[in-house]
Structure 1
Amino acid sequence: MDLTYSAQDDAFRGEVRDWLEDSLSGDFAGLRGRGGPGREHEAYEERLAWDRHLAASGWTCLGWPPEHGGRGLGLLQQVIFHEEYAKADAPARVNHLGEELLGPTLIAFGTQEQRDRFLPRIVAVEELWCQGYSEPGAGSDLASVSTRARLEDDTWVIDGQKVWTSLAHLSDWCFVLARTEPGSTRHAGLSYLLVPMDQDGVEVRPIEQLTGTSEFNEVFFDGARTEASLVVGEPGDGWKVAMATLGFERGVSTIGQQIGFARELDAVVELARRNGAIEDPAIQDRVTRAHMGLEVMRLNALRTLAGSGTGSQGPEASIAKLLWGSWHRGLGELAMEVAGGPSLTAQGPPYDLDPFQRLFLFSRADTLYGGSNEIQRTIISERVLGLPREQKA
Structure 2
Amino acid sequence: MSATVKTPQRAVYPFTAIVGQEEMKLALILNVIDPRIGGVMIMGDRGTGKSTTIRALADLLPDIEVVADDPFNSHPSDPEMMSDDVKALVSAGKKPALAKKKVPMVDLPLGATEDRVCGTIDIEKALSEGVKAFEPGLLAKANRGILYVDEVNLLDDHLVDVLLDSAASGWNTVEREGISIRHPARFVLVGSGNPEEGELRPQLLDRFGMHAEIRTVRDPHLRVQIVEERTSFDRNPQIFLEDHQAQQTALQEKIVAAQHALNNVKLDRDLRVNISQVCSDLNVDGLRGDIVTNRAAKALAAFEGRAEATADDIKRVITLCLRHRLRKDPLESIDSGYKVQKAFNQVFGLSEDDEGDTAQNNSAIPSMAGAARV
TM bracket, shorter-chain basis: under 0.3
TM-score normalised by structure 2 residue count: 0.26
- Pick 1 or 2: higher relative contact order, CA cutoff 8 A, min separation 6: 2
**What TM-score comes out, normalization by structure 1 length?**
0.25
